Amino acid sequence: MVSSGVGLFPTEPVGTMREYVRLAESLGYEHAWFGDSQNIWRESSVTMGAAAVGTSRIVLGTGVTNAVTRHRSLLASTWATLAEFTGGRVALGIGTGDSSLRTMGLSPLKLAELERAVAELRALFRGESVAERHSGQEFRLSYLAEPVHVPIYIAASAPRILRLAGRIADGVIVLVGTAPEFVASALATIEAGARESGRALSDLHIVLWTPTAIEDDSIAAKNLVRAHVSRVVIRPLPAPVDPALESVIDRIRQGYDYYQHMNPEAHHAGMVPDELVDLFALAGTPEECHARLKQIADLGVDQVSIVPFARQGEGRARTIRTFAEIAGR
């Protein structure tokens, strides 16, 4: 059975975010994933620490952090501490870096650098020393009494990073849309990477990440997720799209504003046609979303993690509840 997760960008006060997590846990969600983009959202590690209080089962993760704004030593210490505090209810989601870097004019990591960061984090979690990449000085987490287990998930959309994730990660946060052909293509690429390290696809935990809006009015729901869809299509796509959509995607890439990242009111949201929403989001009436969810469940993902969107002035709780209802049908 496919489990449910919820991706929460810290756009609201920490207390509100904590209530969303408590609600998600009460509804049976398995993971709560927090966006990490220090210039546009509240601090993810503080939010996760607060969310841990008053919850006992739900796993807390980042969706996702990076190893540029977060030094390896800081990442390792944050996650070792959170793992200790929560009894191991953690999942470190990491990527090459997106809005957290782009808002400052910095470039994402190369894939080889990401692979090195993952290896160094695992060494630090084992209590070993690693060399600081600029000074050469070795450092370690001196307070660890024993190794700590922190699963590392890689966020991936393009083929090369999907393959890398399959080869080295414990789990993959897959951001390729909801069209069955896109999801199937991504899973095949992950599986190819897994075989390179002597593993199978079943050895990884696969999380399908999707912007989600569920409304009685299908068009209203689609309008809420257009900004997030634009974020998906600015990256290399997992499979070809209709040639008629390629010029639209080019315009979105040229006009994307990272300071309006994921904001439903972003100007670039208006560039996204319904055809792209249908490929890259879970948006529509409850019946439409349930039908697409059934398609996804047959493809082999372990979890569908929604990024809930709601009308301006309305919190995300209703979307979190509604998705739990349709997922449980």
Predicted local confidence at residue 264, as pLDDT:
67
| pTM listed for this prediction | 0.93
Give the pLDDT confidence score for residue 29 in this predicted structure.
Answer: 98
Instruction: Supply φ then ψ for residue 78, to 5 degrees.
Output: -60, -50
Q: What is the pLDDT of residues 32-77, one digit of tens each?
A: 999 999 999 999 999 999 999 999 999 999 999 999 999 999 999 9
- Residue 270: per-residue pLDDT: 75
CATH class held by domain 3-327: alpha beta
pLDDT for res 243: 86
Residue spans of the chain under pLDDT 70: 259, 261-264, 266
Residues 174-208: tens digit of each pLDDT? 999 999 999 999 999 999 999 999 999 999 999 99
Q: What pLDDT was estimated at residue 252?
A: 86
